Chains A and B, each alone.
Chain A
Amino acid sequence: MSGNILELEGLCIEVGAVGQRRQVVSDVSFHVARGETLGIVGESGSGKTLTILSLLRLLPPGASARAMHARFEGRELFELAPAALRAVRGREVGIVFQDPLTALNPVLNVGRQITEVLRRHLGLKGGAARLRAVELLAKVGIPDPALRLGQFPHEFSGGMRQRVTIAMALAIEPRLLIADEPTTALDVTVQAEIVSLIQGLQREQGLSVIWVTHDLALLARLADRVLVMAGGRVVEEAPAARLFAAPEHAYSRSLLANLRHEPNLRPQAPIPAASGAHAPSGIPSPAGGATDILMQARDLTVTFRRRSFIPLKAPPRPVQALRGVNLDVRRGETLALVGESGSGKSTLARALLRTVAATAGSIDFDGRNITQLAGRELRTLRRRFQMVFQDPFSSLNPRRSVGAAIAEPLVVHGIVRGQALRDRVRDCLTMVGLDAAIAARRPHEFSGGQRQRICIARAIACQPDLIVADEALSALDVSLQAQILDLFQDLKTRFSLTYLFISHDLSVVRRIADRVAVMYLGQVVELAPAAALFAAPQHPYTEALLAAVPVPEPLAERARVHTPLRGEPPSPAAPPAGCAFHTRCPRALARCRTEPPILRESTPGRLVACHLFV
């Protein structure tokens, strides 16, 4: 018997109706050695997920696979009888999917779902199964495992749910673990924890792992060997060290180049006067003074009340989405908002644009208090700020043509009409790099990247001052991200736009932002020029966030000490007293527990809310 747990040779997958079958995976071959981690990387549509699904014969209806060999532990997977196949699926190969919410049954408690696996595949019953389930949850790092067994999936956060699915995959003591983008839906700090978890388990149990991802940087830390897929083919297979050091295929090189962007290549917007000595030379601000403030929030607070669905029962505690945010957006800058999900980034942007009502505090736009504006005045103001959203599929009305979507703000404000309107729409399409002739077509004919360009065209149509991009790149593949980023930069200089750029992806932020505001539990904890922030984070939370981002250099990445943040972000319904971060902070002092820190200048041009910097 060979040292390989899995050997695949000549895998081809076809999809489509009879008569129009297309080959989407062609001639894919690879092997996985015992105890090895194979990383499969590729963009959407590269066939990476179909490839691993075909191994367990889990392909969607209409897709069919054949291969010269697909041997798992010497058995041909494609020839197994149904019962034997189920045994392989259930007992020897564990699988973890991307979306931890849909992978768990919402109406069964977690304990029941784990013991079910134990009972079916290992024959454990009653108390023994329960005991084992508690062990498993403890092993994947879930606090109070005995208590949490009785809880339902919705009572777990995304990261905790993914831990549960991993526990379920491990319950059967598999020899091969297949992880299909297991951390893509998670925050970067949670991702770091899950990666550490799986690596630890792998060492302990001698697991083999196939890790499928679109994020090459992640594999720098994880993978022994990397398989690069594009267009349904393997374009390169190499040990991780060699792939990152000397990629052979042009596609791998371009993937790496996208990861290792040069942050210094782009022009820097002016850094505030206060930090004059630190400011790198840059293009002058189009609007003149460096302290020209376009939008300003003072003590901005947003609280979402929740209704009780049970009569006479006290309603749940209100969610404090924003807790007294002070923020200046300078004219002509790109200000990035970063933070974990639930930190209030999107709420802040929406409150600033007045689409979410502020509970307290004030908002100034261009020197005018807009907190109480309503009706026609507010609607008129709206032409001056526009939004680009994360999901390019839901942000365009499927019933309206591309042209009508772009024309909408112009029509609403009655800026132009008739031929002039049509001309403006064509101009906007050309400016975002699309063919002006597509105006008559409908959104569903376009890919995600094209749709995002259409959304950007809509945003610039009425020449706003401020564009809020809410995770505008998160749904796109890496190579597309780079293109859209360039487009954002290009439009910014052409129209002297100001961007409020919300992202959880710090590598994107690094490329585009002039200043970065780090948010935690509804507050800005650090605000600094991007270069300074990435070079030397001050707030311990910023530090932890940056440390969690994988670096695309295997040696450097493996040499780094990974100390993931402890625990989960506290609930925004009950933020901790004192500094909200003290529950997870590695450097918390006694006063952090009682006294909330104030956001103030630590070094010139940098603001931080932390008792360590006063």
Chain B
Amino acid sequence: MSSMVLTMYRSRETRLGLILLTVVVFAALAAPVLAPFDPGAVDPNARLLPPGSVHLLGTDSVGRDILSRLIYGGRLSLTVGLLAVLISALFGTFVGCMSGYFGGWLEAVSGWLIDVQLSFPFLLLAIFLLGALGGGTVAVVLVLALGTWVNYARIVRAQVLSIKNLGYVEAAHASGAGVLRIIGVHILPNTLSPICVVASFSMAQAILTEAGLSFLGVGLDPSTPSWGTMLNDGRDYLLSAWWIATMPGIAIGLTVYGVTQLGEGLRELLDPRGRR
């Protein structure tokens, strides 16, 4: 395990991504300790303060400390992104694997579902569904998962199609291995690296989409701080108090960069040929 981390640490970009993510995750976990102010505390006397010595990143229109809200907001944004990625990866991989391995009507149905999903503007669908479901964290996670599962399904299906014709799968089949063993031992592990790459990009995409939905006001509950709702808060003050929208923007950017780099590193790590 330690050698694996070491391998990842060797690439400069991956190292930077790893450090960034560690900082973000650590800050989110230790929010109550780290945050200098209560993220919800309104201070009418400290409205729209620029970054300074008391409020390091300034305050918003009702005088809440932006740094504290960023730290707390990370909790929600990261959780939502991670959950969405997990759900969509599991579902998409399952669908892709089944349709790739068994083909037939399974493949036809899932192919049709994927086509429908891809041909429908996702944001429109998300706004419609969130409107119908009434928003909230669970709804946002599900909608985000819905937006990305096709990525896994398509890539896993393609991988399975090529892997199932390789010699080692035929050898396993010929020596009496059952379907579960063939899929679980021989096929799925070999699709891991593309899944990881897709997962890292989807995580980034999920964080961005969550921000976008919250920005549009159909996402998470505006009273709980998330990076998206903070962006939304700063929309009206872009010219007068730039820091309100910029700070969460930077946080999103750095996190997305970190996740993407980590994905790259994972991909290289998981390729058994690349390990030295």
Nearest neighbor of A391 in chain B, beta-carbon distance: B167
In the assembled complex, the Cα of A382 lies from the Cα of B272 at a distance in Å of 30
Mark out the residues of chain A between 534 and 562 whose CB falls within 8 Å of any chain B CB in the assembled complex: none
Q: Is there an interface contact between A399 and B189, defined as CB atoms closer than 8 Å?
A: yes
Cβ-closest chain A residue relative to B176: A382
- In the complex, what residues of B have CB within 8 A of residue A383's CB? 175-176
Question: What 0/1 pattern do residues 370 to 396 of A give for CB contact below 8 A with B?
Answer: 000000001111110111011100111
**Which residues of A sit under 8 angstroms from B273, Cβ to Cβ?**
398, 444
Could you tell me if A412 and B176 are in contact, using CB atoms closer than 8 angstroms? yes
Assembly CA distance A381 to B174 (angstroms): 10
Out of A380, A398, A399, name the residue touching B176 (CB < 8 Å): A380
Give the residues from 373 to 430 in chain A that come closer than 8 angstroms, CB to CB, to chain B: 378-383, 385-387, 389-391, 394-400, 405, 408-409, 412-413
A462-B190 contact in complex given A394-B166, A395-B166, A412-B181, C-beta closer than 8 Å: no
Q: Determine whether the beta carbon of A397 is less than 8 Å from that of B190.
A: yes
A455 CB–B CB distance under 8 Å: yes
**Contact A387–B171 (Cβ < 8 Å):** yes
A14–B134 CA distance with the chains assembled, in angstroms: 66
Q: A398-B273, A412-B181 are in contact. Are A389 and B176 (CB under 8 A)?
A: no
Q: Is the CB of A408 within 8 A of B167?
A: no
Contact between chains at A413 and B176 (CB < 8 Å): yes
What separation, in Å, do the CA atoms of A343 and B189 have in the docked complex?
35
**Known contacts A412-B181, A444-B272: does B171 contact A395 (CB below 8 Å)?**
yes
Q: How many of chain A's residues have a CB under 8 angstroms from any CB in B? A: 31
Chain A's closest residue to B175 (CB) is A409
> What's the Cα separation between A408 and B177 when bound, in Å?
8
A397 nearest CB neighbor, chain B only: B168
Contacts of B172 in A (CB 8 A): 408, 412
Q: Write out the residue numbers on chain B whose beta carbons fall within 8 Å of the beta carbon of A394.
A: 166-168
Tell me whether B170 and A387 are in contact (CB under 8 A): yes
Tell me whether A455 and B174 are in contact (CB under 8 A).
no
B174's nearest neighbour on chain A, judged by CB, is A387
| Cβ-based interface call for A442 (8 A) | yes
With a CB–CB cut-off of 8 A, which chain A residues contact B176?
A: 378-383, 409, 412-413
Q: Are A355 and B174 in contact (CB under 8 A)?
A: yes
- The CA of A505 and the CA of B70, in the complex, are separated in Å by 70
Q: Which A residues are in CB contact (< 8 Å) with B167?
A: 389-391, 394-396
B103 CB, min distance to chain A CBs, angstroms: 10
- Name which residue of chain B comes closest to A410, CB basis: B175
Q: How many angstroms from the CA of A214 to the CA of B225 in the assembled complex?
A: 69
Q: Which residue of B lies closest to A380 (CB)?
A: B176
The answer on a CB contact under 8 Å between B175 and A397 is no
The answer, yes or no, to whether B186 is at the interface (CB within 8 Å) is: yes
Contact A455 B190 (CB under 8 A): no
Would you give the shortest CB distance from B201 to chain A, in whole angstroms? 23
Do residues A398 and B174 form an inter-chain contact, with CB atoms below 8 A?
no
Most chain B C-beta atoms within 10 Å of own C-beta, residue among A379, A400, A408, A444 = A408
- CA A405 – CA B172 in complex, angstroms? 9
Q: In chain B, what residue has the closest Cβ to A386?
A: B175
Minimal beta-carbon separation of B37 from chain A (angstroms): 49
Q: Is residue B178 within 8 Å, beta carbon to beta carbon, of the partner chain?
A: yes
Closest chain-A Cβ to B43's Cβ sits at a distance in Å of 56
B166 — which chain A residues lie within 8 A by C-beta?
394-395
* Complexed CA–CA distance, A458 and B272 (Å): 21
- Over the window 53-93 of chain B, the binary record of Cβ atoms lying under 8 Å from chain A Cβ atoms (1 yes, 0 no) is 00000000000000000000000000000000000000000
Q: Does A13 contact B (CB under 8 A)?
A: no
B185 within 8 A of A: yes
User: With A and B bound together, what is the CA distance between A71 and B273 in angstroms?
Assistant: 41
Docked Cα-Cα span, A413 to B174, in Å, equals 12
Judging by beta carbons under 8 Å apart, are B178 and A379 in contact? yes
CB of A353 within 8 Å of the partner chain? yes
Bound: A391/B165 CA distance, A: 12
Among A378, A379, A383, A462, the most chain B Cβ lie within 10 Å of the Cβ of: A379
Q: Which residues, 166 to 203 on B, are CB-close (under 8 Å) to A?
A: 166-168, 170-178, 181, 185-186, 189-190
Write out the residue numbers on chain A whose beta carbons fall within 8 Å of the beta carbon of B171.
386-387, 389, 395, 408, 455, 458
Contacts of A389 in B (CB 8 A): 167, 170-171
* Cβ A395 vs Cβ B168 within 8 A: yes
For B186, the chain A residues whose CB sits under 8 A away are: 397, 400
Q: Is the pair A462, B175 in contact by a Cβ cutoff of 8 Å?
A: yes
Name the distance in Å between B154's Cβ and chain A's nearest Cβ.
Answer: 18
Write out, one digit per residue, whether chain B residues 246-276 have a CB within 8 A of any chain A CB (1) or not (0): 0000000000000000000000000011000
B189 contacts which chain A residues (CB < 8 A)? Answer: 397, 399
- What residues of chain B lie closer than 8 Å to A379, measured between beta carbons? 176-178
Q: Interface on A for B, CB 8 Å cutoff?
A: 353, 355, 378-383, 385-387, 389-391, 394-400, 405, 408-409, 412-413, 442, 444, 455, 458, 462
Starting from the known contacts A382-B176, A397-B189, 4 additional A-B residue pairs (CB-CB under 8 Å) come to A383-B175, A390-B167, A397-B185, A399-B272
User: Which 7 pairs from chain A and chain B are nearest by CB?
Assistant: A395-B167, A382-B176, A409-B175, A389-B167, A379-B176, A397-B168, A394-B166
- Which of B's residues lie within 8 Å of A, judged by CB? 166-168, 170-178, 181, 185-186, 189-190, 272-273
